[in-house]
Amino acid sequence: MASSYDKIEEIARRRGLFWIGSEIYGGLSGFYDYAHLGSLIKARWEKEWRSFFLGLDDNFFEIQPAEIMHEKVWQASGHVESFVDPVVKCKKCGNIERADKLLEEQLKENFEGISLEELSNVIKNHNLRCIKCKGSLEEVGVLNLMFPITAGNDVRAYLRGETAQAAYVNFLREFECLRKKLPLGLAIVGKAFRNEISPRQLITRMREFTQAELQIFFDPDKIEEHPKFESVKDYRLLAMPVKNRPQAMEITCEEMTRHVPQFYVYHMARVQQFFLNVMKIPREAFFRFKELSDEEKAFYNKYHWDIEVKLESIGGFLEVGGVHYRTDHDLGAHQKFSKQDMSVFVGGKKFVPHVLELSFGVDRNIYALLELCYREDRERSTFAFPRNLSPFDCGLFPLVSKDGLDEKSEELKAFLRDAGFSVFYDNSGSIGRRYRRMDEIGVPASITVDHKTLEDRTVTIRDRDSMQQVRVVIAELPEILGKFLSGTAIESLGTPIK
C-alpha cells in the first residue's frame, strides 16, 4: 500500500496543491512550489493565523522585513556558530545524512538532542552503514544550516534562518513608533531558509519554507502574570512534560503555572485553542505540547514546548510549531554586537525586554491539515477541510448552460463576490461530476441555479460532508452562506430537498 506521503504527493500533483520546484529540470531537492489550490489554502491558513494571533492584543502588529539580512545579525544571534545539525558522511561514496534522523529511521527511536559522541557510538554499536552504497560511515560531525549570500560585490549576508531575528532588529524602532508600551507583539509571516542536509517528506522538511512567528516583548518582572489569565485558568491543556513521556496528560492552566510562568501558560492556552477551534484538529489523540529537555531545547530557549500533531504518515507526532521563552538572549546579543542600547524605560525602570515567541511552520500545518482532512470511500474522495480553511467558500453552477441559467448564475456570482465570498464557477459537465470536483478540492458548499430559480428566485445549496441539499431564497443567500461557513448545520438553513 502506498504510504500517506506518496498518496498526498500524488493528490497534491493531480489537484494543484504543490509539487517539487524547478520540476522541468528534474526538480531541486528541498524546494516546493505551491500551485493554485495549495496557494489558496495556504493564504486561508495565514489569514486565520493573523486574525487569531494579532487579535490577542491591541499592541500586536504584523511587519514585513527583508529576507536577506546582514551577516552580523546572524553572528549576534548565535546562528553562525550554533545553528548546526549533526551529520554523518559515507567513507565510500561521500553521501551525507543527518545523523539523528538516520538513526531515527533505522532504529525507530528518537535521537534528537544527543551528543555527537553518543550518536557516533550508536552508529558503531549497531554497525549502521550508508543508506546509498552500504559503505562504512565516518564519525558524526556538524554542518551549519545558514545560507550565505553576497549582496552586491562584497557585502556578506545570509538568507534569514528564522523570521524571528527580523523582529528583534526592528524592535526599538517599532517600540518608539508604538508609543513605548509593553507587551508589544511583532508578527512576521514569511520565508525562512535552511540548508537542510536531508530534505524529505514533502513540504515538512524543506530548504525554503514559510514561518508564521509572533515575538512578544514583555517586562520579565511580569512573567508570573497575565491580565486575561482568568479566562483560561480552567482550560485543560494537552501536554507531555519531560517526566511524563511518552504519555501526554490533561492539565488545567492553573495547575500548569506550578511548572511554567503564567504569561507562558496563557499563551499555550491560546495556541491550543487555535489548533482545536480554528484548525479543528481532533482533540486528545491528535494534539499535544511536548516539553523539551535541556539537551533538546534550542540554544536560545529557557522554556521550550513543541506543538505537535499526530499523523499517520509519520507513525507518530510532527512538530508543527513551538512556544519559546527566549529571555533577553536575542535583544541582549544584538545590544552587544550592534552597540545599540536595546533597553526601554517602562513602569519607572530601565530594562532589556524579554521575548516569548509563538512559532509556527506554515507548510507543516498545511501538510497536517491535508493529511487529517483527506477522506476516501468507494463513492468519492474528499478533503473535509474546516469551512474557514477551504480554498473557496462555495462552488456555483448553472444546472445546464442554456435556458438563461448561465446568465442567472453569472449574476449570482457577482452578487456573492460583492458580498465578500470566494466563488468557484463551473458551467460544464454533469452536475454530479461538478459536485465531485468540489468534494475533491474540499469546497464546503455547492450552489446550483436550476429552472426553478427562474420561477421563484431560489437556489439549492449542497453540503460537501453530508451531501444534503436545501433550497433557499437568493436574497437571503449571503446571510445563509455566512451562517453555514461559521458552522451552522445545513438542515437548519433552508427547505430540505428529498
Residues in contact with ligand GAP by CB under 6 A are: 162, 164, 194, 196, 204-206, 209, 211, 213, 319-322, 357, 359, 361, 363-364
Q: Smallest gap, in angstroms, from Cβ of residue 231 to ligand GAP?
A: 26
Q: Smallest gap, in angstroms, from Cβ of residue 8 to ligand GAP?
A: 15
Nearer to ligand GAP, 97 or 162 (CB): 162
For residue 293, the 8-state DSSP code is P
Q: Smallest gap, in angstroms, from Cβ of residue 301 to ligand GAP?
A: 9
Nearer to ligand GAP, 100 or 213 (CB): 213
Q: Smallest gap, in angstroms, from Cβ of residue 167 to ligand GAP?
A: 9
Nearer to ligand GAP, 194 or 464 (CB): 194
Nearer to ligand GAP, 204 or 313 (CB): 204
Task: Tell me if 400 sits within 8 A of 452, measured CB to CB.
Answer: no
**Residue whose entry in the numeric block shows the C-alpha cell 565510500:** 92
Q: Smallest gap, in angstroms, from Cβ of residue 304 to ligand GAP?
A: 9
Nearer to ligand GAP, 138 or 319 (CB): 319
For residue 358, the 8-state DSSP code is E
β 68-70/155-159 pair status: antiparallel
Q: How far does CA 168 lie from the centroid of its chain?
A: 21
The three-point CA angle 65-209-45 to 5° equals: 85
DSSP string, 164-223: HHHHHHHHHHHHHHTTT-SSEEEEEEEEEE---SS-BTGGGB-SEEEEEEEEEEE-GGGT
Nearer to ligand GAP, 196 or 450 (CB): 196
Q: Smallest gap, in angstroms, from Cβ of residue 331 to ligand GAP?
A: 14
Q: Smallest gap, in angstroms, from Cβ of residue 214 to ligand GAP?
A: 10
Q: What cell was used for 111?
A: 535521537
Nearer to ligand GAP, 123 or 260 (CB): 260
What are the distances in angstroms from CA 272 to CA 234, 252, 450?
A: 14, 12, 44
For residue 277, the 8-state DSSP code is I
SS (H, E, C) 3-60: CHHHHHHHHHHHHCCEEECCHHHCCCCCCEEECHHHHHHHHHHHHHHHHHHHCCCCCE
Q: Smallest gap, in angstroms, from Cβ of residue 308 to ligand GAP?
A: 9
Nearer to ligand GAP, 128 or 206 (CB): 206
In the complex, residue closest to ligand GAP by CB: 361
